[in-house]
Amino acid sequence: MGARRERLACGGGTPHTYAVILTDTRYADVVVLALKGRLDQATAEGVRTELAPFLARCAAGQDHVVLDLTAVDYVSSAGLRVFMLAAKQAKAQQGYLALVEVQPLVQEILEISKFTLILKILPSVRDALVESSSAGLAAFETR
């Protein structure tokens, strides 16, 4: 069964406090990171900081990372930069990184910006597990 933890990636710069909730669930050698909220100028750096330890282990023979965007309703250019840097790091380390459950508005933003050419985007967490890890899929199926 997957272990689940939740944290906040906070942003600032305005009188309001913004946060993206980041929940991680492990299925064997796959870590599913579920983001919730708007990934924009106010939250991007906090999300990048929270992703850093997971991306450090996103390498050949280590963890596979899946970003679940089910509850992300908007991504700005700052958010796109977070995805680009994550993909670049995973590729340099020969790791596996995928985005799943991308909502229609976010999908449109990814398509317009041509990020669909550099990011692995799959329909579901299960699809990412099928592609990346049989052990992760087995853990997911028995949860």
- Reported as a pLDDT band with limits 50, 70 and 90, residue 9 is low
100-136 pLDDT per residue, tens: 999 999 999 999 999 999 999 999 999 999 999 999 9
b/e string for 1-32 if b means 16 or more Cβ within 10 A? Answer: ebeeeeebbbbeeeeeebbbebebbbbbbbbb
CATH class (in words) of the domain with range 4-141: alpha beta
Q: Is residue 12 over pLDDT 90?
A: no
Give dist(CA 136, CA 132) in Å, integer.
Answer: 8
For the question of whether the overall pTM of this predicted structure is more than 0.75, the answer is yes
Q: What are phi and psi of 73, to 5 degrees?
A: -100, -5
